[in-house]
Amino acid sequence: MTATLDQRIRGDISARIHSGEWPPGTRIPYETELAAHYGCARATVSKAMETLARAGLIERRRKAGSFVARPHSQSAVLEVPDLASVAAAKGETYRWQRTRRAALAAGEAPDIAGIAGAALAVEGVHFADDLPFAIEERWISLAAVPGCADEDFADTAPGTWLLGHVPWTHARHRIRAVAASAAEARRLAIRPGTACLSLERWTWRARDYVTYVRQLFPGDRHDLIADFDPS
Amino acid sequence: MTATLDQRIRGDISARIHSGEWPPGTRIPYETELAAHYGCARATVSKAMETLARAGLIERRRKAGSFVARPHSQSAVLEVPDLASVAAAKGETYRWQRTRRAALAAGEAPDIAGIAGAALAVEGVHFADDLPFAIEERWISLAAVPGCADEDFADTAPGTWLLGHVPWTHARHRIRAVAASAAEARRLAIRPGTACLSLERWTWRARDYVTYVRQLFPGDRHDLIADFDPS
DNA sequence: AAGTGGTCTAGACCACATA
DNA sequence: ATGTGGTCTAGACCACTTC
């Protein structure tokens, strides 16, 4: 119940902002004033303000003070969970079936993967309750992930395996809507031309591409949720 | 050039993590050790560690120490920019054309919008270089945004207007792939059944729904990019 | 029981934007 | 020139977790 002073200050201020009592542009009391009001050190107020500023709720300007921010662009946190966890959360049985595994020499990975050296190509299908709900094509850089050469990925989807075996990385996602090709439709047990969600992810670590993956979901079997919660 | 000590500590640690020198699970030196190493107060180290922890790069456990985190689920920051800015960034001319504006009594807004009271319904088309690239259907709660009753939205897209007139809000997005209906295809100048990206956004402020919008993009004319950059 | 992170203090100095 | 945020300190106490 009794939160920290930091949280209390943040809560009080964000409550006034959300309630509309302090509309965008309003000047928030100076840090010294707030410190006096709460009977605490200015550093404590400053920490609360920094958190609010990082969340985008306020803007701080030297000499001028801190102000309630105007909502700028819509940004949201997109969670792209492991597909096995998605199925588990819905109470569905999950299964991965590998359809291809090939070691490629340097230059054989497609350009879009960005992998110049030797690579491992893996393809397969994700099933939920024995219904295919995503196909996956992936290329993994052998230079960046040497350990994957010993994995056959017959039972474990490479995404799940990589999560535990690759150090921290940067990633970029591209989300598109595409029509399923004949080959894709066959593997997903849908009609060719069906609208599908295409999710591509490039993963790299310090300028080296680690893996590129493309997942294709039938439009009616999967969607993505992104939340934006200033807090 | 000379960054703050806080930034330097963060940079040093994240560099060791990204380089693989400190793989996931590695224990990071205790805060007291780092403070001694940098010749600074522990509070400064603690602040750097808190930032790294919030970014998900490390995990802090009392008595045990701080550890390099294992990548958990893929989460990314999705930017959903104003469509006018997207066109401007590509050097295309942007135009909004309203096709409907209607004041609705309580209960007339569709259930999916979540708006129980009176609402304003607005529909229109976004053009880039005179090519339709998105259609938009929107409902705005008159109770939450009284000012919008005086707007005709003939020349300004409601999204642009709302950004500047609604206090801070929460939002949830749903991204799906769907086939264009006959009516939708006609307005987008595409063939019925074409794969389209559907972006829905519910926006609310303190439990009250503010607006619901659905935008439909032809699959080949728009995609979404989401980045994940621990920093 | 011991030792870590978590929080807070009272003060200080600086850089910078504003008046 | 002034006063704000931005950063840092040296110390303190607490809570929790692991040993």
Higher pLDDT, A164 or A116: A116
Whether residue A163 is predicted with pLDDT greater than 90 in this model: the reply is: no
Q: How far is CA B102 from CA B138, B152, B200, B211, in A?
A: 11, 10, 20, 14
Coil, helix or strand at residue B210: strand
pLDDT band at A72 (very low <50, low <70, confident <90, very high): low
Average pLDDT over residues A82-109: 91
pLDDT digits (tens, 9 = 90+) for B176-203: 999 999 999 999 999 999 999 999 999 9
- Chain B residues whose CB is inside 8 A of the A76 CB are 77-78, 80, 171, 173
Task: Determine the residue among B52, B74, B161, B221 to mutate to test chain A binding: the one whose Cβ has the most chain A Cβ atoms within 10 Å.
Answer: B74
- Rounded to 5 degrees, what are φ and ψ at A151? -100, 140
Q: What is the pTM of this model?
A: 0.87
pLDDT band at A82 (very low <50, low <70, confident <90, very high): confident
In this structure, what token pair is assigned to residue B121? 């319904």
Mean pLDDT, all residues of chain B: 90
Whether residue B228 is predicted with pLDDT greater than 90 in this model: the reply is: no
Contact of B52 with B13, CB cutoff 8 Å: yes
- String of b and e for B169-193 (b: at least 16 CB within 10 Å)? bbbbbebbbbbbeeebbebbebeee
**Interface membership of B24 toward A (CB under 8 Å):** yes
Higher pLDDT, B167 or A1: B167
Domain annotation for chain B: domains and CATH numbers: 5-68 (1.10.10.10), 77-227 (3.40.1410.10)
pLDDT band at B230 (very low <50, low <70, confident <90, very high): low
* pLDDT score of A143: 93
Measured in whole angstroms, how far is the alpha carbon of residue B178 from the centre of its chain? 21
Percentage of residues of chain B with pLDDT beyond 90: 63
* pLDDT score of B231: 59
pLDDT digits (tens, 9 = 90+) for B53-78: 988 899 999 999 999 988 766 677 88
The rounded distance, in Å, linking the Cα atoms of B48 and B45 is 5
Percentage of residues of chain B with pLDDT beyond 70: 97
Coil, helix or strand at residue A123: strand
Average pLDDT over residues A140-161: 92
Q: Taking CB atoms and an 8 Å limit, are B73 and A57 in contact across chains?
A: no
Whether residue A110 is predicted with pLDDT greater than 90 in this model: the reply is: yes
- Rounded to 5 degrees, what are φ and ψ at B119? -145, 160
* pLDDT score of A168: 80
* pLDDT score of A97: 95
